[in-house]
Amino acid sequence: MSNTNDFATPSSTVFTELYYATNAAGAGAVQIAGVQAIPPAITPKEDITYRMLESDIEYAVKGIRPFETIEVETILHVEQYRTLEALADEGNELFWFVRLPTGANQMTVRWRGCLDISLAEITLDDMLRSVLKIGKSSAPETIVWTPPAP
C-alpha cells in the first residue's frame, strides 16, 4: 500500500463480541454477555537483548511470543456464571472468538483454550463482576467469521 489514504475508516470498540464454541467452525457459538475489556490474544514478540564489551549500547532482536493467559472481566450475570462454571469444571477446551465490529471488515481472532471463572474483586459502589481466565493451547489466528443466528 503506497498511500495512507487507502486505509479503511477506523472502527471503535463498540460492538466487539466474545464467543465460545466446542468446534473450530464456531457452529453453535455462544456469546459472552457483559464483557468489560478483552486483553490481546495475539501479543507482540518479546525482545532478546544483548550487549558487547566494545559498546555502551544494548541491542535487541525479535524473540518469541510468550504464553499469556487472557483474563476477561464481565458484569456478573448469575445464569451465565453458572453455565461457564459448569464448562470450567468439565475441563474441556473450547474455541474462543473475538469478533471485531463491522468496520474492521469482520476480522475475528480465534484460538483454542481452557476456561476458569471466579468472582472479581468486590468494591464499594460498583457492579458485581466475574473474571474469565482463558488459556491458549493453540496459536491465535485472524479469520473471517460470522456467528450463528440466535
116 found inside a domain: yes
Spatial distance between the Cα atoms of 128 and 30, rounded to a whole number of angstroms: 22
C-alpha cell at 45: 514478540
Q: Residues 79-108: pLDDT tens digits? A: 999 999 999 999 999 999 999 987 656 799
Number of structural domains, the chain? 1
Q: Residues 21-58: pLDDT tens digits? A: 999 999 999 999 999 999 999 988 999 999 999 999 99
pLDDT over 90 percentage in the chain: 77
Query: Which pLDDT does position 92 carry in this prediction?
Result: 94
6 found inside a domain: no
20 found inside a domain: yes
1 found inside a domain: no
8 found inside a domain: no
Identify the CATH number of the domain in which residue 120 sits: 2.40.30
Mean pLDDT of 143-147: 92
Domain boundaries, position 98? 13-144
86 found inside a domain: yes
Decide: pTM greater than 0.95: no
Spatial distance between the Cα atoms of 99 and 107, rounded to a whole number of angstroms: 6
23 found inside a domain: yes
4 found inside a domain: no
